[in-house]
Amino acid sequence: MSVLDDDTLRAMLADRADRLSPNTAGLVRALCSPCCRC
């Protein structure tokens, strides 16, 4: 029997993933526009 339930695990992972500043999200979004095959 599992001692760890799916909801708790999912909530922990979502909390971890959401710890991203809007600044980084914007920076990464800008990266997806390549200017050349460098």
Interface residues with another protein (CB under 8 A)?
A: 2-4, 6, 8-21, 24-25, 27-29, 31-38
Provide, rounded to whole angstroms, the least separation between the CB of residue 30 and another protein. 10
Separation between Cα atoms, residue 34 and residue 32, nearest integer Å: 6
Separation between Cα atoms, residue 17 and residue 13, nearest integer Å: 6
Provide, rounded to whole angstroms, the least separation between the CB of residue 14 and another protein. 6
Provide, rounded to whole angstroms, the least separation between the CB of residue 21 and another protein. 6
Separation between Cα atoms, residue 26 and residue 31, nearest integer Å: 9
